[in-house]
Structure 1
Amino acid sequence: MKGIIFTEFLDLVEEKFGLALADSIMENTDLASGGIYTSVGTYNFSEMLALLATLSAKSNISVDDLLEIYAEHFFGSLKKNYPEIFAKYEEPIEMLASIENHIHVEVRKIYPNAELPSFTIESRTETTLVMIYKSSRAMYSFGRGLMNKTLQHFNCSGTILMEKLKEDGTEVKFSITKNE
């Protein structure tokens, strides 16, 4: 997993929960890397799971809820650092439908070895999008948080329904409806 995911996560923990809790989760989580991350490095996904589990235990917030909170933070970082990606789109359904064929292509230019989830579009209209998320990492709640922030970015309200197609969360159907 790319280091930017770790560095941004630790930034979120410090911002939202404070430096003391950020230090505590680093001290109380067994990390092969020693918890020393660079944004361009690559680290084992198990370390992110361990950090999330420790933060969940210390904050009494579920891992899924933490992933959504983190995604909202991460969206802000993407928007700040890569505004050209956002400038291409005029509305959320268009942007969300382009995840696989544009956004992930751009991410791979920046982080060539990034292991990204796949998104397959099942149906699309001007106000709805149904797509299938697939990832061995089962970070669908992170995806949902990014989708929520995409709606907000375009000053839209809407609903995002999630249906696990595989119980372990490695395959999830997202049905997104933009309110008019």
Structure 2
Amino acid sequence: MKGIVFTEFLDLVEIKFGLGMVDKIINQSKLESEGIYTSIGTYSFSEMLQLLQHLSAQTDISIDGLLLTYGEHFFSVIKKTYPGLLATYKDPIEMLSSIENHIHIEVRKIYPDAEFPTFIVEEKTENSLIMIYKSGRAMHHFGLGLMNKTFEHFNSTASIVLEKIKEDGTEVKFIITKN
């Protein structure tokens, strides 16, 4: 997992819960990196999982809830880092339907060894989109947070329903209907 995911996560934890919480969850975890991350480094997903588990235990916020908030936060990182990429799109449905075939390809140019979830478009209309998310990391609520902010970016709203295809969350259907 790319370091930017860790650095931004810890920045969010500091903003929401304070530097003491950052120290606490790092110290509670058994991290090969010792909690020292660079945005261009690559780290084990197990480290993120430990940080999330400890933050969840400390805050009584579910891991899915934390991932949703983090996904919403991470959209601002994308907006700041890739403004040209976002400017390519005029509509949130268009943008979300191009995650696999355009956005991930562009980001891979910067982070060639990045591992992304797979998004398969099952059905697309002007105002709706059905996509299948597949990832061994089961971070679909992070994706939901990004989707929420995508609609906000385009001054739009949507109903987004998650249906777990696999109970462990490694395969999820997103049913998106633009309001």
How far is 1:29 from its partner? 1.4
The residue matched to 2:35 in structure 1 has which SS? Answer: coil
2:51 paired residue number: 51
The residue matched to 1:41 in structure 2 has which SS? Answer: coil
Q: Aligned partner of 2:121: which letter?
A: I
How far is 1:66 from its partner? 0.1
1:140 paired residue number: 140
How far is 1:68 from its partner? 0.4
Give 4+ residue runs of structure 1 displaced > 2 Å after superposition: none
Q: Which runs of 5+ in 1 are unaligned?
A: none
Q: Deviations over 1:81-139 (max 9, x none)?
A: 11011000011000000000110001100100001000110000000000100011111
Q: Aligned partner of 1:69: which letter?
A: T
How far is 1:26 from its partner? 1.3
1:124 paired residue number: 124
1:97 paired residue number: 97
1:162 paired residue number: 162
Partners of 1:76 and 1:148 in 2: CA distance = 12
1:66 paired residue number: 66
Q: Deviations over 1:6-42 (max 9, x none)?
A: 0000010001111111111112211111111001111
1:114 paired residue number: 114
Partners of 2:21 and 2:45 in 1: CA distance = 21
Q: Give the number of aligned pairs.
A: 179
- After TM superposition, the score normalised by the length of structure 1 is 0.98
Question: Cα RMSD over matched residues?
Answer: 0.6
1:17 paired residue number: 17
The residue matched to 1:114 in structure 2 has which SS? Answer: coil
Q: Aligned partner of 2:148: which letter?
A: N
2:38 equivalent to 1:38: yes
Partners of 2:82 and 2:125 in 1: CA distance = 27
The residue matched to 1:90 in structure 2 has which SS? Answer: coil
Q: Aligned partner of 1:160: which letter?
A: I
Partners of 1:89 and 1:44 in 2: CA distance = 33
Paired-residue identity, %: 65
The residue matched to 1:174 in structure 2 has which SS? Answer: strand
